Amino acid sequence: MHGVKAQHAADGQPEQTVSDKELMIRCRAGDRLALERLLTPYEKPLYHLCLGILRNAADAEDAVQETFLRAMRGLAGFRGEASVRTWLQRIAVNVCIEWKRSRKPTAPMEAAERMASTSPDLEETTIRHRLALDALGVLTEAQRAALILKDVQGLSVEEIAATMSWNAKKVENELYRARKALAVWRARTIEAEG
């Protein structure tokens, strides 16, 4: 169970660590502040996960919003068998896969354009970001999700299996195919650059 550092800046109280379990209890009681405290730490990893699957910044932001909404609607049904992180990641992957199937693909360059105005090292950052999105473009949505969860966010095979509702063998197979596909992509990219 992950802990969340909640700072009561407004109240002037000292920083204290509140567990997800305690926050869940308060959230079920209708505590709005507890909801924000519970969800805020997962904004960034969820956004990167959704961005990796959807390859579009605006869609990723909407997907994170939808993930949070679904989580709050299903708060009463969360039994605590999995961690809050796994629970939210599972929702996010489902949202992204649903959207990918139902929506027209959006140009991935939007994110790079938005990033250009904020990043100090514009050229290098833009190239890295574009490279990552291009690499993910050769994978399926499920492979993207598994790969990001494993190699970017550092989840174990078992955690990925729980998140994706797969068994461990399937996770390993999908990761192998994804890595092999990326190897092919890199080889082609190198060949194309000459």
Partner 1 sequence: MAETEPLTPGEIADILAGLEDAPVPERMARRAVNRWIEESRRERPRGRWATVLSFPGLRPALALAAAAALVVVIRGRLGDEAAPPIQTPKAAERAERADAPTLQNTTAQKAQGEKREARGKRLEERAEAKGAAGPGRAATAGSAPAPPAAGFADRPAAPLAERDVAPPARKVQAPESAPVPAVSERMALRAARTPEAPSADVAYLNRTEPLSRDLVKDSSVGDARLLQRITLAEDEIALADLAGKIGATTGVAIVLSEAIATEPLAVHCEDRPLREVMRQMGRALGIRWELSHQGDAIRYAARPIAEAEETRASDDSAARSAPAGLGGGMMRAGRAPAAMQADSSKRRDVETRNIIGSPERVRALRQGVAPPDAVQTEGWIIVR
The binding site for partner 1 (CB under 8 A) comprises 32, 35-36, 39-40, 42-44, 47-48, 51-52, 57, 61, 64-65, 68-69, 72-73, 111, 114-115, 118-119, 125, 127-133, 135-136, 147-148, 150-152, 176, 179-180, 182-184, 186-187
Closest CB 21 distance from partner 1, rounded Å: 18
Q: At what angle do helices 122-136 and 109-116 cross, to 10 degrees?
A: 160
Extract the tokens encoding 72: 């709050």
Closest CB 86 distance from partner 1, rounded Å: 18
Which residue is associated with the tokens 């997800």?
A: 20
Close Cβ partners of 143 (under 8 Å, ≥ 6 residues apart): 174, 175, 177, 178, 181
Closest CB 134 distance from partner 1, rounded Å: 9
Nearer to partner 1, 68 or 161 (CB): 68
Extract the tokens encoding 6: 């909640």
Nearer to partner 1, 47 or 78 (CB): 47
Nearer to partner 1, 2 or 114 (CB): 114
Cα gap 175→39, rounded to integer Å? 28
Extract the tokens encoding 182: 């990326």
